[in-house]
């Protein structure tokens, strides 16, 4: 099939001189956890092979350490001896067999390495690791450089098409190239030239070792987001140096891991950082790649057509859908399962040392285990509830060949996702529902909305699947029936006009989201809106990008060092006074996602929301909410008290069926309300559908 005419820039080949990439999509490096264990390499090979078959132009592996000290984890995994070559050969040849190209990222963790043998330019501990690194001697530096060269040679031997040298995000090379943690006074520190020397040495020696016909990508930190990060002139100097030293491509790195500015979470507008790469592009004569929050072919095409970059890097979107590029080329972009930038199954897993996957695609990194094969015996299946669990089950089961009827009492699909998508910064959740609408249609599910189902409606089916979700938990506090008390559902469905002073009982995921919703909704200033839909609306997108940069204090003119030095963040204050409360001691928000919880906490704190732990709820009356903390009584004079105190399973139908001795499958919130999230609901629905 010929290329879709909507994506001419995205789908055009890129000639690198000695080789040509089939399109402008680079799959950005992601640590999946499968790299850490020799026995998992067949799974890693299958994972990459699916992305290669999905027509990604160039794949970059997760970070592979060039030596023991540079390894991110205590159990060293990397490419530093011949014995490790065969497992990498498996990966490279699987990708080649599927028609793709792949580079191995060489990642030296520096002071971000999570073990006591870590090394860095200076002995300065990072705020995100418990180990103080050893400052390298001149000999030690030489050894690390040689390790990069050895890894490059071994990568070539393993059959990779190239390497990416990781020079950003605050890892080893980046630690040398900025003055933030490089306090050296020898030839490796001080002047810009001295700080960049390590990158220059690594690049030129790797080029010499690999020969001219091997891709070398340099991932350059183009925006450190630290007050003592580099200024623009220094970054340009580094890019020119990288080109002269033999880099084939320059990839963009945005922000050190320790920078307290969100760069990829769902509230970051789509394509928010491409202006950085756009500024670099005229400075060099080699292709540049732009990155961060580019999750649809429409957004990518717009960025490339504007001339911001020669290629786009997509990482998480290719976890969500291995066929993203192929679907774009074949003119079916609406079939793409969109990454909603939640981080819940990818980065959160990585940071919790679990194998990475994807909330919207539980097959990611499990390609050899979870497969949706055609059924041998077609069954008639009733599914009650079209929330994430029911949608995942129905679409997978129907695609396998079952006859599936899906019922929901609501007049739209999505269940709780219809509330989630209303939270400012979570608009991406509606992209998932768009995907399911198309998928229901394609897979031939018989969808019946506005249809309340009871147990007696479920006769005559071969299988019954209950995905009826949850009810909000009812709590018992004196005055709970007072007119001031409302549920989060009424708030998010705009059923109630909420006053200017509000207390939220419960500070879990939903409490935080409702606080975000209420702290925004009084403003509704379109300029502050993070709503960046539709994907191709550049006016909307650039306006929300401006608002985001102002909120987090990022200087788009790049006058400020690191893009932030001396820039005052201007978060909009909430027009409402909001208290977010929990009974547990300590600061609310500890149970939120590892890589996004800090953003929610910081964002609400900046807006002036008061977060209190160790709260006892005494009573609710005309005056407000009476609480005590540490035995001290307080009155919160609020207009409304919103209950966000968790949820319980909706087992109405399940209980009747069980009473009558009838069997059924119960999934999602209906099965388990405690610690329920969409990751669990979608995975459970998909796994059941793969089995039935």
Contact positions with ligand SF4 (CB under 6 A) in 294-323: 316, 319-320
Q: Which residue has the tokens 């788009």?
A: 556
Q: How far is the CB of 265 from ligand SF4 (least distance, A)?
A: 9
Antiparallel, parallel or unpaired: β 134-135 and 58-64: unpaired
Alpha-carbon distance of 510 to 302, in angstroms, equals 34
Catalytic choice (47, 112, 160, 171): 171
Antiparallel, parallel or unpaired: β 215-223 and 577-581: unpaired
Residue nearest to ligand NAP (CB): 508
Q: For residue 582, what are the CA distances in angstroms to 386, 503, 592, 600, 676? A: 31, 11, 14, 16, 19
Give the per-residue contact string, 489-528, with ligand SF4 (x = CB under 6 A; - = no): ----------------------------------------
Tokens of 319: 């976890």
Partner from ligand NAP, ligand FAD, ligand SF4, none contacting 584, C-beta within 5 to 8 A by type: ligand NAP
State yes or no: residue 343 binds ligand SF4 (CB under 6 A). yes
State yes or no: residue 40 binds ligand FAD (CB under 6 A). no
State yes or no: residue 340 binds ligand SF4 (CB under 6 A). yes
The candidate with the shortest Cα–Cα distance to 573, out of 520, 527, 618, is 520
The candidate with the shortest Cα–Cα distance to 364, out of 33, 56, 13, is 33
Tokens of 117: 């043998």
Partner from ligand SF4, ligand NAP, ligand FAD, none contacting 407, C-beta within 5 to 8 A by type: ligand FAD
- When binding is defined by CB under 6 A, the residue of 311, 339, 491, 578 that contacts ligand SF4 is 339
State yes or no: residue 415 binds ligand FAD (CB under 6 A). yes
Is 171 a known active-site residue? yes
For residue 463, the tally of other CB atoms under 10 A from its CB is: 17
Q: Which residues bind ligand NAP (CB under 6 A)?
A: 344, 473, 475, 505-511, 513, 582-584, 591-593, 644-647, 675-677
Q: For residue 314, what are the CA distances in angstroms to 224, 272, 297, 438, 667? A: 20, 14, 10, 23, 32
Length of the chain: 692
- When binding is defined by CB under 6 A, the residue of 249, 267, 328, 419 that contacts ligand FAD is 419
Partner from ligand SF4, ligand FAD, ligand NAP, none contacting 242, C-beta within 5 to 8 A by type: none
Q: How far is the CB of 511 from ligand NAP (least distance, A)?
A: 5
Alpha-carbon distance of 507 to 513, in angstroms, equals 9
Q: How far is the CB of 417 from ligand FAD (least distance, A)?
A: 5
Q: How far is the CB of 358 from ligand SF4 (least distance, A)?
A: 3
Q: For residue 129, what are the CA distances in angstroms to 112, 113, 125, 601? A: 6, 8, 7, 20
Give the per-residue contact string, 353-372, with ligand SF4 (x = CB under 6 A; - = no): -----xxx------------
Q: How far is the CB of 354 from ligand SF4 (least distance, A)?
A: 12
Partner from ligand NAP, ligand FAD, ligand SF4, none contacting 343, C-beta within 5 to 8 A by type: ligand SF4
Strands (DSSP E) found in 582-670: 610-612, 615-621, 624-629, 632-636, 640-643, 647-649, 665-666
CB 303 within 8 A of CB 536: no
Q: At what angle do helices 192-210 and 138-158 cross, to 10 degrees?
A: 30
Q: How far is the CB of 647 from ligand NAP (least distance, A)?
A: 5
Q: Which stretch binds ligand SF4 (CB under 6 A): 16-24, 335-343, 366-374, 681-689?
A: 335-343
List of residues contacting ligand FAD (CB under 6 A)? 342, 344, 384-390, 407-410, 415-417, 419-420, 423, 452-453, 467-470, 492, 509-510, 513, 650, 653, 668-669, 676-679, 681
Q: What residues are annotated to the active site?
A: 171
């Amino acid at each position: 099939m010929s290329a879709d005419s909507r994506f001419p820039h995205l789908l055009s080949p890129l000639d690198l001189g000695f080789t040509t990439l089939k399109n402008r999509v680079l799959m950005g490096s992601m640590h999946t956890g499968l790299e850490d264990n020799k026995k998992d390499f067949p799974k890693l090979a299958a994972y990459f092979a699916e992305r290669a078959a999905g027509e990604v132009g160039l794949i970059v592996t997760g970070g592979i350490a060039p030596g023991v000290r540079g390894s991110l984890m205590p159990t060293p995994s990397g490419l530093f001896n011949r014995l490790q070559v065969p497992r990498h050969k498996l990966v490279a040849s699987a990708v080649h067999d599927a028609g793709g190209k792949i580079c191995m990222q060489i990642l030296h963790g520096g002071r971000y390495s999570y073990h006591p043998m870590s090394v860095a330019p200076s002995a300065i501990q990072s705020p995100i690791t418990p180990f103080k690194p050893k400052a390298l001697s001149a000999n030690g530096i030489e050894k690390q450089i040689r390790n990069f060269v050895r890894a490059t040679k071994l990568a070539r031997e393993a059959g990779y098409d190239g390497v990416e040298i990781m020079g950003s995000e605050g890892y080893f090379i980046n630690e040398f190239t900025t003055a933030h943690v490089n306090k050296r006074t020898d030839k490796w520190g001080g002047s810009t030239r001295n700080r960049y020397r390590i990158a220059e040495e690594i690049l030129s020696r790797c080029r010499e070792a690999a020969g001219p016909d091997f891709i070398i990508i340099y991932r350059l930190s183009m925006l450190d987001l630290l007050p003592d990060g580099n200024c623009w002139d220094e970054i340009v100097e580094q890019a020119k140096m990288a080109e002269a030293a033999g880099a084939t491509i320059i990839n963009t790195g945005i922000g050190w891991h320790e920078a307290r500015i969100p760069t990829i979470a769902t509230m970051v507008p789509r394509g928010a950082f491409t202006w950085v790469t756009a500024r670099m592009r005229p400075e060099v004569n080699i292709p540049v790649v732009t990155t961060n929050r580019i999750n649809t072919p429409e957004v990518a095409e717009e960025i490339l057509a504007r001339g911001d970059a020669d290629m786009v890097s997509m990482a998480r979107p290719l976890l969500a859908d291995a066929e993203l590029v192929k679907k774009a080329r074949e003119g079916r972009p609406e079939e793409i399962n969109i990454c909603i930038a939640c981080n819940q199954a990818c980065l959160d897993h990585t940071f919790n040392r679990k194998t990475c996957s994807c909330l919207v695609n539980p097959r990611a990194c499990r390609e050899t285990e979870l497969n949706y094969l055609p059924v041998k015996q077609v069954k008639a299946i009733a599914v009650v509830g079209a929330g994430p669990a029911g949608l995942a089950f129905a679409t997978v089961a129907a695609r396998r060949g079952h006859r599936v009827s899906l019922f929901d009492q609501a007049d739209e699909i999505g269940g709780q996702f219809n509330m989630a998508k209303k939270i400012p910064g979570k608009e991406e959740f509606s992209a998932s529902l768009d995907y399911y609408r198309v998928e229901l249609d394609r897979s031939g599910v018989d969808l019946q909305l506005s249809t309340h189902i009871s147990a007696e409606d479920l006769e005559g089916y071969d299988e019954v699947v209950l995905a009826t979700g949850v009810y909000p938990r009812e709590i018992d506090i004196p005055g709970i029936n007072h007119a001031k008390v409302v549920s989060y559902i009424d708030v998010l469905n705009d059923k109630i006009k909420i006053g200017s002073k509000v207390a939220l009982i419960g500070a879990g995921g939903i409490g935080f989201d409702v606080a975000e919703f209420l702290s925004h909704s009084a403003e509704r200033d379109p300029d502050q809106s993070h709503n960046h839909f539709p994907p191709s609306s550049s006016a909307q997108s650039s306006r929300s990008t401006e608002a985001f940069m102002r909120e987090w204090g990022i200087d788009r003119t790049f006058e400020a060092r690191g893009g932030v030095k001396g820039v005052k963040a201007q978060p909009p204050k909430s027009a409402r006074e909001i208290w977010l409360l929990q009974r547990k001691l300590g600061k609310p928000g500890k149970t939120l996602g590892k890589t996004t919880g800090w953003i929610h906490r910081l964002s609400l704190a900046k807006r002036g929301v008061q977060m209190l732990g160790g709260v006892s709820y005494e009573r609710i009356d005309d005056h407000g909410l009476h609480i005590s903390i540490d035995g001290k009584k307080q009155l919160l004079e609020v207009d409304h008290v919103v209950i966000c105190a968790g949820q319980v399973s909706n087992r109405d139908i399940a209980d009747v069926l069980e009473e009558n001795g009838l069997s059924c499958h119960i999934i999602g919130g209906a099965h388990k309300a405690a610690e329920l999230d969409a990751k669990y609901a979608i995975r459970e629905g998909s796994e059941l559908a793969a089995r039935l």
